[in-house]
Amino acid sequence: MTLYFLKGANIKRITWLLLITATASADSYQPWHDRTLAEPTDASLFSGELTKEQLDNLISKGEQLFNAVFTTDDGVGRPMATQAIIPTKRKRAPKNTFSRTAGLDANACASCHNLPTIGGAGDFVANVFVSEGFQLADFDSTDPQFSNERNTNHLFGAGLVELLAREMSADLARQREQALAQARSTKEPVNIKLNSKGVNFGQLTISADGVVDTRKLDGIDTDLIVRPFSQKGVITSLRQFTINALNHHHGIQATERFGERWTGSNDFDEDSVVDEIQTGDVSALVLWQASLAPPTVKSDLPENWIAAAERGSKQFDDLNCNSCHKRSLPLDSLVFHDPGPLDAAGTLRTNELGENGNTAYNLALMQWADTLEKDEQGRWLVPLFGDLKRHVIADTQVDTLGNELLSQRFVERNVFMTSELWGIGSTAPYGHRGNLTTLNEVIEAHGGSARASRDKWLKLNDETKSDINAFLKTLVIEQ
């Protein structure tokens, strides 16, 4: 055996790793063992365009993993790794495995995403503490100088949101390329206003020599990639979100980021469990999230609620709330490719697994797809009540939503992604920290770019405010 060729202190460690690997094998696993990742999902099942039957089977596996209560036998814990999205070593092991600040902070994905059902939002008790994690791994304080406290967002309709972001990113990139070609051809500077799906992202100025001035961009990164996830709009894809969360919340490290390829180790966190979660399991988790039905509009209501909601819907537009909370955005295709095209290194991207490793999930096969309306061009209308854009949401007079002290991914502290309102009737509490208990409170907390709408709201009578509440609370997640 290879073991006999090892020397000195390495013998004991490698022997232990071999035993762990043997324990993880399907042959030795029994249902009563303390492992949930004992039988990895076969990555070869994710290839080409999946049939409805294949989709259903893999969605079921993804749901099982989302509900799974991970254990130390699975690799829970990261004694010598931080919560950072880039593999980062700790200086010393933590005193406690679980911590409400730097994590670990949950046993299962569903521990936090459960309101009103699995995949949903979370109560204040499920808040997470977010920091970049490179320098701040050893803190055990909830003081906001060390981390930003965030409430749990729901995941319903997440596949549609990512598809919208991909199409918008591709659209903006085309506009930039066309402007570059024009500047080269005319040898004159070009100013271009960036707009995709009716959302304005500011403008670019391109000089004749191809230098791109990005200073007038609005609500998007300079690479023109729309990042639709997290309250700050800094997460590109469900796959990146999943890998981040597995490490941060559970200490379960995906091989595609923390394995041999990028770290030179199959046990980067030094917890004596190797190759903790494989590509197939990550793909199953992504598919389950991407397949979640979009929130809907509750219709089985008393007549007085329906009448109030109709009045409130009109008032919503009159207040200009729909300038950011756009009722719907058009989507050209319901085919969800995974891995996707826009992620950074450490999250698998299109073609990294070879041609046979690219999977197409046609979300049109999902039963809920028939509920989506289409526009005159045949595009699906995604009723997210959002714009996938960042906005300033606090000012010097109204600063409730600008209470964070740390920037995240270079996004200013008072800038947040527009919250999609679909599902808001099922996902109290409100605000990025989850500390606002009513819709009235969160509306009145809007400052910055939303200040004018908020000021109009304050002038409304109580009955009109009640009508707007009635409308918003028809936007629900079906259980």
Query: What's the chain's Rg over C-alpha atoms?
Result: 24
On whether the CB atoms of residues 70 and 107 are closer than 8 A, the answer is yes
SS3 string of 128-187? EEECCCCCCCCCCCCCCCCCEEECCCCCCCHHHHHHHHHHHHHHHHHHHHHHHHHHHHHC
- pLDDT score for 3: 33
Q: Is the pLDDT reported for residue 6 higher than 60?
A: no
- pLDDT score for 408: 81
d(CA 383, CA 386): 8
Q: What is the mean pLDDT of residues 41-51?
A: 91
On whether the CB atoms of residues 199 and 326 are closer than 8 A, the answer is yes
Q: Is the pLDDT reported for residue 4 higher than 70?
A: no
| Domain chopping of the chain, boundaries | 1-33, 159-213, 296-327+383-476
Percent of the chain with pLDDT over 70: 91
Least confident stretch, 265-274, 330-339, 344-353: 344-353
Question: Which of 158, 148, 94, 68 minimizes the C-alpha distance to 361?
Answer: 158
Contacts of 267 (CB under 8 A, 6+ apart): 17, 273, 274
Q: Is the pLDDT reported for residue 473 higher than 80?
A: yes
> Does the N-terminal peptide bond of residue 339 adopt cis geometry, omega within 30 degrees of 0?
yes
pLDDT tens for 274-303 read 999 999 999 999 999 999 999 999 999 999
Q: What is the mean pLDDT of residues 303-321?
A: 98
- Dihedral over Cα of 79, 80, 84, 85: its sign: negative
Beta strand 48-49 pairing with 475-476: unpaired
Q: What is the mean pLDDT of residues 147-168?
A: 96
Helical spans, DSSP H, in 325-461: 439-444, 451-458
Percent of the chain with pLDDT over 90: 78
Assign 379 a pLDDT band (cuts: 50, 70, 90). very high
pLDDT tens for 65-108 read 999 999 999 999 999 999 989 999 988 888 888 988 888 999 99
> How many C-beta neighbours within 10 Å does residue 98 have?
15
DSSP 246: I
Q: Is the model more confident about 38 or about 128? A: 128
Q: Is the model more confident about 407 or about 302? A: 302
Assign 135 a pLDDT band (cuts: 50, 70, 90). low
Beta pairing partners, 330 = 381
d(CA 147, CA 151): 13
Q: Mean pLDDT for the chain?
A: 90
Superfamily name with CATH number, domain 296-327+383-476 = Cytochrome c-like domain (1.10.760.10)
- pLDDT score for 196: 98
Assign 18 a pLDDT band (cuts: 50, 70, 90). very low
